[in-house]
Amino acid sequence: MAKIYINETNKLSHINPEIYGQFSEHLGRCIYEGLYVGEDSDIPNVNGMRTDVVDALKEIQVPILRWPGGCFADEYHWKDGIGPKEQRKKMINTHWGGVVEDNSFGTHEYFELCRQLGCKTYINGNVGSGTVQEMSEWVEYMTFNGLSPMANLRAANGQEKPWKVDIFGVGNESWGCGGNMRPTYYGDLYRRYQTYVRNYDQNAPIQKVACGPNVNDYEWTEKVLDTCFNPSPCHLHGFMDYLSLHYYTTPGPWEHKGSATEFTAEEWYNTLHKALYMEELVEKHGAIMDRYDPEKKIGLAVDEWGTWFDVEPGTNPGFLYQQNTMRDALVAAVTLNIFNKHSDRVKLACIAQMVNVLQAMILTDKEKMLLTPTYHVFHMYRSHQDAELVESRIEGVETEGGAMYEVPTLQESASVDPDGVLTLTVANLSLENSYPVEIFLEKPAPASVEASILADEKDAFNTFDEPDRVAERTFEGVTVTKQGLEFTIPACSVVSLRIR
Ligand code: AHR
């Protein structure tokens, strides 16, 4: 019997809603077809945005959307994506599939999408192939309120009022596709570029993201912080509000990452073992950040994470289209539990990517769409957003996966929301074993519990013909006891409980 002890009166840190953020790049069918079909499409849309997709995304309460990339961001020239659509420049998307990018989705369309989703905005600027002037003018175009060349241009293009840019990324993967830079060189460039990301509205300052490390490149973290982090009365956060971290879960080597849907039990444990590595990354990069920033003024922004498998057979290799099974659901569940548990330092995270690319929430095929198992996990975890992480620990948990890919079978996190409702999310990583679980609460005998579950075969996934095979269902098996609760969690499942 596993025991989960929760002290719901011991609040540890605030879970920023932005930990549940999303990422949408001009890549494959994420933006075009997935989110944006254009005003003249037969697919129902509002100002070009797919109504079915937007409605589904609203249900998971998307808190923030990162755009336009990714690698694409460092090749994106924003002026190509404004003005009359028929006059917008057509270019080749050299990073992703070599297809024509007609720029019909640009700055105005992005803000319209965020308006429809009701989410915050996170724009990633171009350092790799763009100039300081270009970046600075983009910020002026989006946020200046008054008469100025860029604000006038915005008004001429139909947007009188400025928009709100919540977060601005200064370059993406500058150690790789964003310019192949070395950390101190990037650090100096960061200092320069970010100077011109002006705060025209002092009441709504733009938060800035410095490009952080790839996976376990601790030297990058150290050197970028050493170069850029300079708190002073004038620069409270030392020029930055976040340092990013990118980490993808791939079971195989880069050339053969493995199929998204056909995998062995060993590959199951391998994948989850690698997903759990996120905790070590967050802790080790966090320890370096602690030395520079012991007061935790800046956040770690894991603004690209998720599974990366071989593309679905027969699809464009540059489109990164993959199916999504219960394995993806478990990766999402354990990763979000890790972010919750480290919410003192992880302040922002964006899964890659929102629709039709990598570990997506939604897949589309022309007018059809389906919700993936990962979508359901985000739905089941949504009450953690803006809640307070509370103390929780598990005892009596077995491990599986052998010496190579050992994983704990159960993993959890718990939070209390502003209404005092406790949310507990538990993942069972075991492929074979269900476990009886006893929950011990500080204030026992809860008045009511609502529970839901996502459970299926390890490689189960939804198709356009059977879109609801894997779906969140009501979980009936929870009993209220004197000390808390009891239930049996099935193998290969995720459970979410709302305890009042
Ligand atoms: O998400 C796909 C790509 O992965 C992004 O464009 C890039 O930043 C990362 O390498």
In this predicted structure, the answer to whether residue 233 has a pLDDT above a threshold of 90 is no
Q: Is the dihedral of CA 265, 276, 387, 239 positive or negative?
A: negative
Residues 335-352 have a mean pLDDT of 98
Percent of the chain with pLDDT over 70: 98
Separation of CA 69 and ligand 1 centre (Å): 7
pLDDT reported for residue 444 = 81
Tell which atom from ligand 1 comes closest to the C-alpha of 71: 6
Which residue minimizes the CA distance to atom 9 of ligand 1? 70
Separation of CA 187 and ligand 1 centre (Å): 21
Separation of CA 210 and ligand 1 centre (Å): 16
Tell which atom from ligand 1 comes closest to the C-alpha of 172: 8
Helix boundaries (H) for 64-197: 107-117, 132-143, 149-156, 183-195
pLDDT band at 354 (very low <50, low <70, confident <90, very high): very high
In this predicted structure, the answer to whether residue 234 has a pLDDT above a threshold of 70 is no
Q: pTM for the whole thing? A: 0.97
- Cα 93 off chain centre by: 23
Which residue minimizes the CA distance to atom 5 of ligand 1? 70
464-471 own/partner pairs: CB under 8 Å, 24+ apart: 464/363, 464/365, 464/368, 464/370, 467/369, 467/370, 467/371, 470/325, 470/326, 470/329, 470/372, 470/373, 470/376, 471/371, 471/376
What is the crossing angle of helices 218-228 and 183-195, to 10°?
40
Q: Poorest-confidence range of 26-35, 136-145, 310-319, 441-450?
A: 441-450
Question: Given ligand 1 and candidates 173, 180, 309, 319, which is best to mutate, with the most ligand atoms within 8 Å of its CB?
Answer: 173
Which residue minimizes the CA distance to atom 3 of ligand 1? 70
Which residue minimizes the CA distance to atom 2 of ligand 1? 70
pLDDT reported for residue 442 = 92
Question: Given ligand 1 and candidates 24, 246, 307, 320, which is best to mutate, with the most ligand atoms within 8 Å of its CB?
Answer: 246
- Catalytic site residues? 173, 304
Kind and range of the H or E run holding 242: strand 242-249
Kind and range of the H or E run holding 270: helix 265-292
Separation of CA 37 and ligand 1 centre (Å): 23
64-67/120-125 β-pairing: parallel
Q: Round to the nearest angstrom and report the end-to-end CA distance of the chain.
A: 24
pLDDT reported for residue 237 = 64
DSSP annotation of 45 reads E
Q: Poorest-confidence range of 15-24, 128-137, 184-193, 196-205?
A: 196-205
Q: For the segment 240-292, what is each residue's pLDDT rounded down to a tens digit?
A: 999 999 999 999 999 999 999 999 999 999 999 999 999 999 999 999 999 99
Region for residue 383 given its phi and psi (left: phi exceeds 0; alpha: psi -120 to 50; beta: otherwise): alpha
Residues 357-363 have a mean pLDDT of 98
Tell which atom from ligand 1 comes closest to the C-alpha of 358: 1
Question: Given ligand 1 and candidates 304, 309, 354, 355, which is best to mutate, with the most ligand atoms within 8 Å of its CB?
Answer: 304
Exposed/middle/buried for residue 232 (C-beta within 10 Å: 0-12, 13-18, 19+): exposed
- Residue 55: CB atoms within 10 A of its CB come to 12
Separation of CA 67 and ligand 1 centre (Å): 12
410-416/479-480 β-pairing: unpaired
pLDDT reported for residue 230 = 76
Q: For the segment 362-419, what is each residue's pLDDT rounded down to a tens digit?
A: 999 999 999 999 999 999 999 999 999 999 999 999 999 999 999 999 999 999 999 9
Which residue minimizes the CA distance to atom 6 of ligand 1? 70
* Rounded Cα gap, residues 273 and 192, in angstroms: 40
Pocket of ligand 1 (CB under 6 A): 25, 69-71, 172-173, 304, 352-353, 358
Helix (H, G, I), strand (E, B), or coil: what is residue 488?
strand
Tell which atom from ligand 1 comes closest to the C-alpha of 178: 8
Separation of CA 423 and ligand 1 centre (Å): 32
pLDDT reported for residue 319 = 97
Separation of CA 25 and ligand 1 centre (Å): 8
Percent of the chain with pLDDT over 90: 94
Which residue minimizes the CA distance to atom 4 of ligand 1? 70
Separation of CA 149 and ligand 1 centre (Å): 33
Tell which atom from ligand 1 comes closest to the C-alpha of 23: 1
Residues 463-485 have a mean pLDDT of 95
Tokens describing residue 11: 């609040």
pLDDT reported for residue 202 = 87
Separation of CA 306 and ligand 1 centre (Å): 11
Mean pLDDT score across all residues of the chain? 96
pLDDT reported for residue 204 = 87
Q: For the segment 174-231, what is each residue's pLDDT rounded down to a tens digit?
A: 999 999 999 999 999 999 999 999 999 888 899 999 999 999 999 999 999 999 987 6
In this predicted structure, the answer to whether residue 236 has a pLDDT above a threshold of 80 is no
Q: Is the dihedral of CA 485, 414, 265, 461 positive or negative?
A: positive
Tell which atom from ligand 1 comes closest to the C-alpha of 173: 8
Question: Given ligand 1 and candidates 76, 177, 358, which is best to mutate, with the most ligand atoms within 8 Å of its CB?
Answer: 177
Tell which atom from ligand 1 comes closest to the C-alpha of 25: 6
Which residue minimizes the CA distance to atom 7 of ligand 1? 70
Residues 435-464 have a mean pLDDT of 95
Tell which atom from ligand 1 comes closest to the C-alpha of 96: 6
Kind and range of the H or E run holding 479: strand 479-480
pLDDT reported for residue 340 = 98
pLDDT band at 238 (very low <50, low <70, confident <90, very high): low
pLDDT reported for residue 445 = 85
In the beta sheet, which residues pair with residue 496?
A: 425, 452
Q: Rounded to 5 degrees, what are φ and ψ at 452?
A: -135, 160
Which residue minimizes the CA distance to atom 8 of ligand 1? 70
In this predicted structure, the answer to whether residue 47 has a pLDDT above a threshold of 80 is yes
299-307/346-352 β-pairing: parallel
Separation of CA 106 and ligand 1 centre (Å): 19
